[in-house]
Amino acid sequence: MTSPYRLLFDKGFVNLDAEKAHHLGFAGIRAAAPALRGISRALPSRAGVRVMGLDFPGVLGLAAGFDKNAVGIDALGALGFGSVEIGTVTGEPQPGNPKPRLLRLPHDRAVVNRMGFNNDGAEAVARRLARRAAGGRPGGPVLGINIGKTKVVPEDAAIADYEKSTGLLASYADYLVVNVSSPNTPGLRDLQAVAKLEPLLLAVRRRADEVTDTRVPLLVKIAPDLSDADVLEVAALATAIGLDGIVATNTTIDRSGLTSSAAEIEQAGAGGLSGEPLRKRSLEVLRLLRGAVGDDLTLIGVGGIAGIEDALERLNAGADLLQAYTAFIYEGPLWPRRMNTAIAKEQRR
């Protein structure tokens, strides 16, 4: 039986520009926030997990990219996400790439985005998070903050750019993620090379420790398009420098194996592909990482997780936590709570 949301999506949202549909849907979630929080408090919570010294209300969280500017953290948490990772936030505000820059491939349950880290910048996001902290949000989702490089900042100034964001945002984060894996900022993925990644991660770690009283867990988000050898190099680096974890994986530039027509793929254009086509490689990367790091690091599995079978497969492969984005778009607002409830039920068996 087709859900009311799927009917709405297939008959309505799918005909809207994807970015406009995102803004409309997100506005509706924020408008419903008071009612959502009331419902959330009334529901029993049996899906919690403790990871990195943090208590997550549920294993499944929302990946970065949905709430770029920290405008709907608690409303999204009230939908049932155990964590919300905001961003990617850059040191300076930027408009992102020209539109259209967010497109769907419905036959593949996928999304192509070339947003280009459009966000209000670290200073504006920090002010927003300060207001949230002052208001107090007990029982909300675990807050991850994902930081990236400002597009106009040259590579030789990238570390300072990440340090700026870290200094402004780390004190509000339950955990921090360094994003060096988006395909939509020129040169960003070059920072995944270990020789460039190590000084960057060490600088962010130092800056985070300078501005916080308690240690904030630090993770790095990597691309699925890395070779196996490069994945293992990142794993070795993360272990050597005492990183807390790795988010695996970001979107892919690969277009192989899609069922959408050539015309649809061409129309969608360049950018990062997310959703079902990412599932296989993201799972492979996760298994590689777990085999390399043992139990020492937290691994967050993301990419192509749409159903309970996907979630359990990722957890059995070594993920401590899960994230999703594209399935939330296709499955609707009831999906995160349904997923976290189902995961908890399976884990109790």
The per-residue pLDDT for range 194-222, each reduced to its tens digit, is 999 999 999 999 999 999 999 999 999 99
Enter the pTM of the model.
0.96
Over the chain (349 residues), the average pLDDT of each successive run of 10 is: 73 85 95 78 66 97 98 96 98 98 96 98 98 81 98 96 98 98 92 95 98 98 97 97 98 97 97 98 98 97 98 98 97 96 92
- pLDDT for 40 equals 63
Tokens of 346: 């399976």
Is 88 marked within a binding site? yes
Q: Is 330 annotated as a binding residue?
A: no
- For 333-345, the DSSP string reads TTHHHHHHHHHHH
pLDDT (0 to 100) of residue 137: 62
The reported pLDDT for the residue numbered 136 is 73
Pick among 3.30.2400.10, 3.20.20.70, 3.40.50.300, 1.10.10.10: CATH of 4-348: 3.20.20.70
Is 118 among the annotated ligand-binding positions? Answer: no
| pLDDT tens by residue, 9-53 | 777 777 899 999 999 999 999 999 888 776 665 444 567 899 999
Q: Mind spelling out the 3-state secondary structure of 284-315? A: HHHHHHHHHHCCCCEEEEECCCCCHHHHHHHH
Q: For helices 194-211 and 158-169, give the axis angle rounded to 10 degrees.
A: 30
Residue tagged active-site, from 83, 181, 182, 274: 182
Contact by Cβ (8 Å): 61, 84: yes
Rounded to 5 degrees, φ, ψ at 177 are: -125, 125
227 catalytically annotated: no
